Chains A and B, each alone.
Chain A
């Protein structure tokens, strides 16, 4: 079965420090990987995706993620956190050979303190 794991329920970081939100996946084919962010009372917003090519992908709001096939990981990173980055982050995977739906992790709450 396809699955996505976000091992940390919460990540706390001080403003200006680098942040990492971890994601690992278990799939039987070649995955498409996504990160979404959810702010309170707002819908899921797309941040970035890996489909193919360069393992380091850059997305919205200064976020980036690195696809690591050997470690089956797709960690979200940002060099310098902002208080406004505080939100709920979801990693998701799609395996085209197994269907078209996204499979989401449980989410990680990022809290950036000033």
Chain B
């Protein structure tokens, strides 16, 4: 157990529906990342928060995706009007305070769009 919690673990949704995932990082870590991992690929960066500020966004993060981190604690990732191509594992990572520390990953939310 890395101390990073993600909910739900699995989500099956119909194309066109909206979905929201939650990540609870390690409590004293002020940085939080979202990644997406598709089958046969390594995780790909989506977005980065420091406290409540969203500081980096990948071009992978289309306008159907939105992420928030109110109060700098848990974070949510919402996908609107889901497409089959959104099917993937969505991972949350919580690194330590220093830029050279490793990231602790949650177990991920597996999204299947049917």
State the A residues within 8 Å of B (CB). 4, 32, 34, 36, 41-46, 49, 51, 90, 92, 96, 99-107
Contact with A along B76-114 (1 / 0, CB 8 A): 000000000000000101000001101111111000000
Contact A102 B100 (CB under 8 A): no
- Find A100's partner among B31, B42, B107 (CB 8 Å cutoff): B31
Contact A104 B43 (CB under 8 A): yes
Which residue of chain A has the shortest Cβ distance to B58 in the bound complex? Answer: A101
* Chain B residues bordering chain A, tally (CB within 8 A): 26
State the B residues within 8 Å of A (CB). 2, 4, 31, 33, 35, 40-45, 48, 55-56, 58, 91, 93, 99-100, 102-108
Contact B43 A102 (CB under 8 A): yes
Beyond A100-B31, A104-B42, whether A43 also contacts B99 by CB under 8 A is no
Q: Measured between C-beta atoms, what is the minimum distance from B67 to chain A in Å?
A: 14
Contact B43 A44 (CB under 8 A): yes
13 A/B residue pairs, CB under 8 Å, sorted by A:
A34-B102, A43-B108, A46-B102, A46-B103, A46-B104, A49-B100, A90-B42, A100-B31, A100-B48, A101-B58, A102-B43, A102-B45, A107-B41
